[in-house]
Structures are given as structure tokens and as C-alpha cells.
Amino acid sequence: MSETNEDKDPAAKAAEDTADCPFCHLEGRKILFKNSLACAFYDGFPVSPGHTLIVPFRHVQSFFALTMDERKAIDDLILKCRDFLDIKYHPDGYNIGVNINESAGQSVMHVHVHIIPRYKGDTPAPKGGVRGVIPAKQSY
């Protein structure tokens, strides 16, 4: 009888999960900023110029599973990225977001924070911002 992923002990499952994780293997990516717990780099599929991701070095799926130190490290990088993006791209605003689980749009099961620079005219009706994840609820 073969062992299923659910039958494996947590350490073995975690090691297997990290083997194919693109955010555990950052070779070839240009790191914009890093600290001891996280790093920032441009999104490979940007929705706007300067779209950046911040990821913890530790492989963890949910934002809610981050340690307080990891959250602080990510927050520090958000501010550094904002300063950098302001100078390089001159956006008019930002969306900062995290997708948690597939039902919320998470496609890589390693926490990543999106910093999405926004520009006047990049969408016809930006009112409601992140509420647009459910288009019928965006306007209010």
C-alpha cells in the first residue's frame, strides 16, 4: 500500500512541499530588499509597473501562521518597497494584499504579500479598491 501525502509525518510533508515551491528557491530572481526573515522581488506576472512580492524565507502557507517577528520583517520591507517604488515608478496609490487559500486566489502556497502600485486611469472605476475581488460588491 502506498503512502499518501496525508499519511506522511508533518516534517516529511513540509520538506516535500518546499521542494517544488518557487518562493523557497529564489535563484535567478533579482532581490530588491531583504532582511533576516523575508525578501522582496518583482512579481513574475505583474498587474502594474513595479508590482512587487514580499515573502518570508520560512515556508509557511498562511499569513495567519507567520510569527510576530516575520510579520514585523515583512512590514519593514513593505515600507522600504514603498519608498523605492515611489522614487522609481511614481504611482498615485497602492493596493497591498495577501491571498489566503485557493478560495481567496492564493496560487502559490507560500505566504506572499503583493504591493501593487496604482496609477490614475489604470482602471475606469477604482472606487472600492480591494472590494473589487467580488465585482458586484465593489461599488457602494
Mean pLDDT, the chain, whole residue set: 89
Q: Which residues are CB-contacts of 36 (< 8 A; sequence separation ≥ 6)?
A: 73
Is pLDDT larger for residue 68 or for residue 132?
68
Q: Summarize the confidence of residues 63-73 as an average pLDDT.
A: 99
| Active-site amino acid positions | 112
Give the pTM: 0.86
pLDDT tens-digit map of 2-53: 544 455 555 555 556 788 999 999 998 999 999 999 999 999 999 999 999 9
Q: Summarize the confidence of residues 118-140 as an average pLDDT.
A: 83
Q: What gap in Å lies between CA 129 and CA 94, rounded to an integer?
A: 9
Q: Which residues are CB-contacts of 62 (< 8 A; sequence separation ≥ 6)?
A: 100, 101, 111
Domain ranges (residues) in the chain: 15-137
Q: Which CATH architecture has domain 15-137?
A: 2-Layer Sandwich (3.30)
- Could you tell me the pLDDT band of residue 98, with boundaries at 50, 70 and 90? very high
pLDDT of 1 reads 47
pLDDT tens-digit map of 75-95: 999 999 999 999 999 999 999
pLDDT of 132 reads 80
pLDDT of 13 reads 52
